[in-house]
Amino acid sequence: MYDVRLKVSYVKGLAEGLEIEDEKVKKLMSEIINVLDEMAETINDLKITMDDTQEYVESIDEDLGELEEEFYDDDDDFDDYEDYDDFAYDDDEFDFNDEDFIETDCPNCHETVYIDEDFIDNGKAECPNCKTVIDFENMVNDKD
């Protein structure tokens, strides 16, 4: 940023060396140079702040790396998952006909959903698709 401030000083020297006769033009040039000088100072301040912030972020990154090493190296249950693209989700792994799931149609979105019995509270559960509350007690009473 020293470069910008140096260039502004050079322009200021050029303007003073021109010995402009017209006072309006002279005042205009002076104000433009003052604005350029203020901008150069602000840019310099921003550069200093950015450098400090970059140093701080790098410090945080190093600390986080150390914490990750300590946390994950101590636990043998974790594997390195550097490539998540290899992870495949297979719907066939889950048996929705299991006794713990209740199959129902959502009254709002009309999708067939499978709700784990553990998630039914006071005869009600939330539709996983549209978040509408499904009242299982009224559904049973309506079918009778």
Helices (H) and strands (E) in the chain, counts: 3, 4
Q: How many CB atoms lie within 10 A of CB 59?
A: 10
> What mean pLDDT value characterizes the chain?
80
Tokens of 26: 């002279």
Dihedral of CA atoms 42, 44, 45, 49 in degrees, nearest 10, equals 130
Tokens of 71: 């946390």
User: pLDDT value at position 32?
Assistant: 94
What digits encode the pLDDT tens for the residues 94-143?
555 556 788 888 889 988 888 888 888 888 888 888 988 888 777 654 44
> Sign of the CA dihedral 120, 132, 113, 105?
positive
Are residues 20 and 28 in contact, defined by beta-carbon separation less than 8 angstroms? no
| Confidence grade of residue 42 (pLDDT, cut at 50, 70, 90) | very high
- Whole-prediction pTM: 0.42
